[in-house]
Amino acid sequence: MAIDPAFQLALLRHGLLIGTGVPGIYGRGPRFEAVVARLETLIGALGATAAPEMMRFPPVMARATVEQSGYVQAFPHLLGTVHCFHGDDAAHAVLVDQVTCGDATWMTAQAPTDSVLTPASCYPVYPAVAARGPLPASSHVVDVQSWCFRHEPSPDPARMQAFRQREFVFMGTPQGAAAFREAWQARAEAFARRLGLPHRLAAATDPFFGWHGEIMATLQREGGLKSELLVPISDSDNWTACISFNMHHDHFSRACGLRLANGDLAHTACVGFGLERLALALFRHHGFALEADGL
Amino acid sequence: MAIDPAFQLALLRHGLLIGTGVPGIYGRGPRFEAVVARLETLIGALGATAAPEMMRFPPVMARATVEQSGYVQAFPHLLGTVHCFHGDDAAHAVLVDQVTCGDATWMTAQAPTDSVLTPASCYPVYPAVAARGPLPASSHVVDVQSWCFRHEPSPDPARMQAFRQREFVFMGTPQGAAAFREAWQARAEAFARRLGLPHRLAAATDPFFGWHGEIMATLQREGGLKSELLVPISDSDNWTACISFNMHHDHFSRACGLRLANGDLAHTACVGFGLERLALALFRHHGFALEADGL
């Protein structure tokens, strides 16, 4: 990777991002936020033909859901779990001393909660829809957006730890899922052209953990389950995935019991738009002075 | 507390909130989100006279900032810290076995990261402004919004673990901070009247931890440092704080070195709007069929 260090500095200098002292965790200035809002309007219009059901979830979700869906096993290095202090007055006195002295061992008293940081915006959707019972129609599409967290500290502003993802999630038949992916790949390429962004569609794999993950990545590649729309942002040699297309077969439906009216497990697929990455790509290719109303 | 259980059920049945299996963590339906968006527009207009600087931060922030500002010591029971798996392939094999068997001890392998969940939307603002050097003018106001997290699982939908806070943050002279609080208390009461919400302004204290916290609450009460605009939502006996007014003296400025042009530490104050609580109050008092364009 050859990340251009001038890119991050320019984003900070133009007030688009605000440093917080943690790599990949930035504040946003008004012009950056206006571009993200404009992107959301445009993406919403792209998805409107399917008359999707809108759901919005907070940046934290049930730990049980990521345990059941296999995310913990596949991406433990990326998942952020939420921990809390459960001690008494005596333990608190120790904690106060430690924090006051700048001694980070206060964190050893933190205990797990039932929540984790949402790793991808579609994860809370499947159990929420499954809880209603079998899908009434042969297909259902949900429009979801949330903040996501992945623990991958990086100096590359296009690889943030905290970012927003807008997704459309398909639930229905296997044929419907395949058609959904095809349609969205074409729609996303037209969208990138309309935004004036250089781009390329490519087969992809997820960053599964360890040697066990290499097997999973091979299966994903051989099954043609993931593709990405790549745009050059901070590194002209390694283009950045800005939109991804994912076929899940019945992976998520099996975990939460999501079924069609005929009793079969539903197949699911999703298209995810990385809002920060798309905004950064626009500033990279149209200049740091870009205003949302120019889009 | 006598929380009305029918209120939560009605919110779920009307598609305003979506259950996730964790108390206080809900998805939001489109009508709920439209009301929140409308509230944000109205609140933004209330604050526009000060020509505030807009900053937006993600739901996670630097752990160092909450350590330095005293939040960890004062509210360890509410703070969510973010932890991750840092193990190797062998540790991963153990984790996979544990998760697959539904054994929650996989979480003992989680190690702290540099991030915590943002506890109140103004926390990242102070170091971000201080990093620029002394305040150029005698006062500066920031308009900030973010998702916040507080670990207080409750069946009361008006006490969520994950919620959004819109804040205006004042930085400047002690006199300026006092005038800011006065002006916002009056503005907030007029806002509640305009929204048709029963309300009352009251002195308040924060829920500091333990016996040490009782002293802090006493100091806060005697100093008249916190007040709240209360509205009856889920419990007619115990009204819920929907807007809070906070005087910090030089507490945050001391932690991050925020100074006036003359070298004095700045005084800070903030007004915070609980967006979910205000939305819930509107549904409570104007009916579950309320639409955003009726506001």
DSSP A108: G
Q: ipTM value, please give it.
A: 0.96
Range of the domain at A196: 5-80+119-294
Whether residue A130 sits in one domain with residue A90? no
The domain that holds B39 is classified in CATH as 3.30.930.10
> How far away is chain B from the Cα of A58, in angstroms, using its nearest Cα?
6
Q: Is the pLDDT of residue B2 over 90?
A: no
Nearest CB to B22: which of A20, A62, A80?
A62
DSSP line for A39-54 = HHHHHHHHHGGG-PEE
Q: Mark yes or no for CB contact A92/B106 under 8 Å.
A: no
Whether residue A205 sits in one domain with residue A66? yes
Nearest CB to A79: which of B28, B55, B84?
B84
Whether residue B111 sits in one domain with residue B24? no
> How far away is chain B from the Cα of A199, in angstroms, using its nearest Cα?
28
**How many distinct structural domains can be found in chain A?**
2
Residue ranges of chain A whose pLDDT lies below 70: 1
Residues 6+ apart with CB under 8 A from B221: B203, B205
Average pLDDT rounded to a whole number, residues B97-109? 92
Contact between residue A164 and residue A276 where contact means Cβ atoms under 8 Å apart: yes
pLDDT, residue A8, reads: 94
> How far away is chain A from the Cα of B62, in angstroms, using its nearest Cα?
6
Residues 6+ apart with CB under 8 A from B14: B29, B31, B283, B288, B289
Q: Mark yes or no for CB contact A115/B210 under 8 Å.
A: no
End position of a domain, from candidates A116, A143, A165: A116
Whether residue A97 sits in one domain with residue A53? no
pLDDT, residue A137, reads: 87
pTM of the model: 0.97
Whether residue B178 sits in one domain with residue B167? yes
Q: Is the pLDDT of residue B205 over 90?
A: yes
Separation of alpha carbons B71 and B215, rounded Å: 15
> Closest by alpha carbon to A230, among A158, A144, A150?
A158
Whether residue B108 sits in one domain with residue B33? no
Q: Mark yes or no for CB contact B60/A112 under 8 Å.
A: no
SS3 B257: coil
Predicted confidence band at B1 (pLDDT cuts at 50, 70, 90)?
A: low
Residue of A nearest to B143 (CA): A30
Chain B residues touching A73 at Cβ < 8 A: 95-96, 99-100
Whether residue B187 sits in one domain with residue B110? no
Q: What is the pLDDT of residues B85-94, one digit of tens each?
A: 999 999 999 9
pLDDT, residue B211, reads: 86
End position of a domain, from candidates B70, B96, B116: B116
End position of a domain, from candidates A116, A133, A160: A116
Whether residue A279 sits in one domain with residue A227? yes
Whether residue A226 sits in one domain with residue A98? no
| Share of residues in chain B with pLDDT > 70 (%) | 100
pLDDT, residue A1, reads: 56
Whether residue A63 sits in one domain with residue A144? yes
Q: Mark yes or no for CB contact A114/B22 under 8 Å.
A: yes
Residue of B nearest to A33 (CA): B56
Whether residue A269 sits in one domain with residue A180? yes
Q: Mark yes or no for CB contact B73/A212 under 8 Å.
A: no
Whether residue B232 sits in one domain with residue B176? yes
Place of tokens 């539904």: B102
> How far away is chain A from the Cα of B166, in angstroms, using its nearest Cα?
15
Nearest CB to B128: which of A27, A96, A106?
A27
Separation of alpha carbons B145 and B124, rounded Å: 11
Q: Is the pLDDT of residue B230 over 80?
A: yes
Chain B residues touching A48 at Cβ < 8 A: none
The strand ranges marked E within chain A are 17-19, 26-28, 53-56, 60-62, 81-85, 110-117, 139-149, 162-172, 200-203, 226-231, 240-249, 267-274
For CA atoms B86, B92, B97, B99, give the dihedral sign: positive
Separation of alpha carbons A200 and A241, rounded Å: 10
Helices (H), B14-143: 30-47, 63-68, 71-74, 89-100, 125-130
